[in-house]
Chain A
Amino acid sequence: MTEERVDLVPGTLDMMILKALSAESLHGFGIARWLEAVTGDRLTVEEGALYPALHRMEKRGWLASEWHRTEHGRRARYYRLTDAGSEELEARRARWESSVSAVQEVLEAEIRP
């Protein structure tokens, strides 16, 4: 772990979970592993923090879930994106990108001495 670890930007966890589920159904442990793999283990997030987010988004209708057997034969709750969830992901991605590009422009603006 040579790279610098960063804290999660508040409000982005939901977006990342939605992204994780956009390709396939995953259980919580699977989402944690996916995030770990994608970010190269740079994000410090307590894995338990996934669960309040998952349940909240399910309640809002962005996710659906059901019990399945894992490859290890354990019973696990698999989450998948609903149509509302896909829309939410796109909406959040658009907001995030526009906000990042705005900040980016500020940071790259030339400042006269």
Chain B
Amino acid sequence: MKLDPVDARIRDEIDHHIAELEQRLVAEGLGPDEARAEALRRFGNPDEVGTATRRARAGAGSRLRAFGRALRQDLAFAVRQLLRQPGTGGLVIVTLVVGVAATSVVYSVVHAVVLAPLPFEDPDRLVQVNQTSPQGRLYGMSEPNYVDFRNRLETLSELAAIGYGNPVLSGEGDAEAVEGMRITHNLLETLGMTPVLGRGFTAGEDRYGGANAVALLSEGIWLRRFGGDEAVLGRTLLLDGEAHQIVGVIASDRAWPGVQIFTPLAPNPDVYRDDQRLQAVGRLRPGVTLAQVDQDLGAVAAELSAEYPESNDRWGASARPVREWLVGPSLTRLGWFLLGVVGLFLLMACASVSNLLLARATVRMEEMSIRAALGAGRRRLAGQLVTEAGVLALTSCVLGVLLAHLALRVVQAAGPADVARLSEATVGAPVLAVTTGAAALTVLLAGLAPGGLLLRTRLFAGLRAGRGVASPVSRRVRGGLVVFQFALAVTVLLSAGLLIRSFERLQAVELGFRPSGVVRFGIRLPDGQFSPTEREDYLRQLYAELEARPGVVSVGATSASPYTRFRPSNFVARSDREPALQQDFLPVSWRAVSGDYFAAAGIAVQAGRVFGPEDRFEPDALPENPPVVIDETLAETLWPGGESPVGELLTWFLPGGGQHVVIGVVDAARDENMDMEPRPRIYRPFALAGWDQPSVIVRVAGDPGQAIPMIRSTVRAIDPDMPAIAPTPMLDDVRESVAWPRFSMQVLSVFGAIALGLAVLGIYGITAFSVARRKQEIGLRVALGAAPSGVHWLVLRDAMVLAALGIGLGLVLSFIVTRFLGALLYEVSARDPLTFLIVPAALGAAALASAWLPARRAVSMDPREALVPE
């Protein structure tokens, strides 16, 4: 066997020593065998000496190597500890993993949806400009008004406009509707976007009646459908059957997710001014403030009121930051609220972890004292504590980050789909830095506590007093943490409770229509290709084909299906009390409907009748008073006190509106905002109010999802270039409309449940610990004849005082936090007495139950056992 030079040297040295010793002993007169035995006795076991020497050599290297070896030992020790006593360590890790993951995911979602910078150049200088009705409501802009505002405003360097519309793309395989936007040529410049490929629109292409047959592609569709091929420039696309030349590609997907094709808006300066369908976006000139823009807008609006009194009288205009327009105030509020709650939740997780670690620290003090007494250096002990805390922190953070990524996928798959920015959410580095930083800091601080206590206490005090040394300080700290935990648990649970109650109310809302069993889809009937009668003809054929299919109950169409962003408005008044000014007309929501719309949508008729075959008119033979149907809200507003509106006349404030006769009254349908009382509604026949993309409503007998393929094929059979656009069960739209309330409720419920668990664990821990510590005292009391109930109360009292303090503090905190919740609640007060009663009571009961078990143990303890010192 070949020896290592060091081993050989050690062996030689030992051999030499023993040989010399033997020789000397022989010289002193011992026999050879005796001398051998005596030499070995004096020297010690040569093998053991050899091993010890090798070890001493290896261990005595540089300081760095010594540190490395200590670290290895500590790591191994820390991992062994963790595995041997998985209780505390496991709880610490689980708590932190959940804390880190939940906080990171919610932050990432809120960031992507609410906080992320808008993908425009200098977005803070961008405003959205609205027309404001005499009643102060915000409206979009009509094309002629937009042109006038653009030409006259001085405070804006640009004013661009956007219109929506989903053209059908054909000639590329199956015809399909694509989400599209009509934009003015200056939109890209206004927003500071440059095309990825090709160019934007020219002023000439944006002129009404000009060469408008050009299109821009979104980068998304360009990559997916055209493989990112630069040769798409110059190719033509059939949009609504018309050839459009592709002139450029723009990176629009972040700003308008889902929009695939852009065409020139080419605003018509001579169309009527009441059709406020455009969204206008402008850029402030350098140095101009929002207030100056509003002043400028007011001045221009006043000019237009004077010039076009029949449409613009008393109409104003106002500007707001684009973020407010794109994100919306309630989503922003919800986002900040969720962030606040999640922040509290992270604090709560950290408090729980501190509590667990401090409990363990008091036990560890004993071990530390013994080791210090045996000569372990303080630095080394501190090093060991750091290593243990490091192992916990690292494990929790790594697992937390992994869980965060997984959970975000789940949220993206299951979360609200209407906000497509959600799909862009990623768990970013900054949020991970904050969450893992908080987790790691907590573990390190709480994990080092025994070290700090050790340095402050005399070394051997820890041995004499057993596990009691650290208790006065750490008991107070731990009590404080339990109070804090309960306060946060109350706050999170109360917020969750309020949102759950609100969501329940929302679910119980009387919709006024029956969305179950209904499929809706869009159909494209562009202005240029269909006259009003041709639209009616096509729709009638569609209804006949669909109604002939088995399972179809009734079919109709509407200008806007429930919960879409199209919410057309107008103004009406009783003809016998017609006001002189438009501002005194009643603002209403209106729909153009056709076929058996009311039956298909499940809207009940209250009085009179709804439209039928007798309401068909040729365009050249319109009745003097066209028929309209109104809903109960409008009926009660205009004809209060039980007067019957059926047969009465109603003046509709629109071009060529004139007087209409009310033929029926229907239930109010809450189909615009589920959480708001419906606006008064008026329905008119489709034939009188053409709409280029109506929604067809099909009521079927079975599962609407199953009927979709049948509907697609039936529609395609009529005209392969006119596909059914996005057939969807209407229940999905309803669900989608409350997706954010549902999401926030679910998030808070999960957080609330975990917070409750942590608070209960905290109070259980501190009670169990105190029972263990006061074993002798309790045993003595029992031995001296204390009543079990008295002892029981003694133990419970401490726990309940902490819980009560925490709950009280939590109620105060909740009063502050839920103030921000008020606007997000539906028909539930932010001070809802029931929630404010149930949550603290439930927490109190949970605290009592979790302190009960250790208290019972205290009572049932055998006093003899308790009095024997440990």
User: Taking beta carbons and an 8 Å cutoff, which residues of A are in contact with B?
Assistant: 27-29, 32, 46-49, 51-60, 70, 72, 74-77
Contacts and interface: CB of A to CB of B under 8 A. Distances in A.
Contact of A48 (B9, B23, B48, B54): B48
B1 interface: no
11 contacts: A27-B16, A29-B16, A48-B43, A51-B14, A55-B54, A56-B59, A57-B60, A74-B19, A75-B12, A75-B16, A77-B13
B10 A51 contact: yes
A47 B41 CA distance: 9
A61 to B, nearest CB: 10
Contacts of A32: 17
A74 B20 contact: yes
Contacts of A27: 13, 16-17
B17 A29 contact: yes
Nearest to B52: A52
B682 to A, nearest CB: 97
A33 to B, nearest CB: 8
A48 B44 contact: yes
Contacts of A70: 20
B56 A47 contact: no
Interface string B32-62: 0000000000111110111011111101110
Nearest to A46: B44
A14 to B, nearest CB: 11
Contacts of B55: 52
B23 A47 contact: no
Contacts of B9: 77
7 cross-chain pairs, A with B, having the tightest CB-CB distances, nearest first: A48-B49, A48-B44, A52-B56, A46-B44, A59-B60, A56-B56, A56-B60
Given A29-B21, A72-B23, A55 B44 contact: no
A46 B52 CA distance: 13
A6 to B, nearest CB: 17
Given A29-B21, A55-B53, A56-B57, A48 B16 contact: no
A18 to B, nearest CB: 15
Q: Which of A53, A55, A72 has the most CB of B within 10 A?
A: A55
Given A46-B43, A59-B61, A74-B20, A51 B53 contact: yes
A28 B46 CA distance: 14
Nearest to B6: A55
Given A52-B49, A72-B23, A47 B17 contact: yes
A70 B23 CA distance: 13
B632 to A, nearest CB: 97
* A-side interface mostly: helix
Nearest to A28: B17
A32 to B, nearest CB: 7
A77 to B, nearest CB: 5
Contacts of B20: 29, 70, 72, 74
B49 A49 contact: yes
Contacts of A77: 9, 12-13, 16
B60 A51 contact: no
A53 B56 contact: yes
Nearest to B47: A48
A74 B46 contact: no
Contacts of A58: 57
B53 A47 contact: no
Given A53-B56, A55-B56, A55-B57, A48 B19 contact: no
Nearest to B13: A77
B45 to A, nearest CB: 7
Interface of B: 9-10, 12-14, 16-17, 19-21, 23, 42-46, 48-50, 52-57, 59-61
* B-side interface mostly: helix
A42 B17 CA distance: 20
A48 B61 CA distance: 21
Q: Which of B13, B42, B48, B57 has the most CB of A within 10 A?
A: B13
Nearest to B48: A48
A53 B53 CA distance: 7
B14 A48 contact: yes
Contacts of A55: 10, 53-54, 56-57, 60
Contact of A74 (B10, B16, B48): B16
Contacts of A47: 17, 21, 42-44
A59 B57 contact: yes
A111 B12 CA distance: 56
Contacts of B14: 48, 51
Contacts of B46: 48
Contacts of A46: 42-44, 49
Nearest to B23: A72
Given A48-B45, A55-B57, A28 B13 contact: yes
A41 B823 CA distance: 93
Given A56-B57, A56-B60, A51 B16 contact: no
A59 B10 CA distance: 14
A64 to B, nearest CB: 14
B103 to A, nearest CB: 49
B731 to A, nearest CB: 79
A98 to B, nearest CB: 20
Contacts of A48: 14, 17, 43-46, 48-49, 52
Contacts of B16: 27-29, 74-77
B823 to A, nearest CB: 72
A49 B45 CA distance: 10
A54 B53 CA distance: 8
Nearest to A11: B375
B60 A60 contact: yes
B598 to A, nearest CB: 96
A46 B14 CA distance: 13
Nearest to A10: B375
Contact of B53 (A29, A52, A72, A75): A52
A55 B12 CA distance: 13
Q: Which of A47, A49, A60 has the most CB of B within 10 A?
A: A47
A48 B21 CA distance: 12
B24 to A, nearest CB: 8
Contacts of B61: 59
B379 to A, nearest CB: 18
Contacts of A60: 60
A49 B48 CA distance: 10
Contacts of B42: 46-47
A74 B12 CA distance: 11
Contacts of B48: 48
B11 to A, nearest CB: 11
A68 B50 CA distance: 21
Given A48-B46, A56-B60, A75-B16, 4 more contacts: A47-B21, A72-B23, A76-B13, A76-B16
Given A46-B44, A72-B23, A51 B13 contact: yes
Q: Which of B14, B17, B19, B55 has the most CB of A within 10 A?
A: B17
A72 B19 CA distance: 11
A48 B55 CA distance: 14
A19 to B, nearest CB: 19
B80 to A, nearest CB: 27
A12 to B, nearest CB: 14
Contacts of B60: 55-57, 59-60
A39 B55 CA distance: 29
A104 to B, nearest CB: 23
A51 B23 contact: no
A69 to B, nearest CB: 11
A28 B43 CA distance: 11
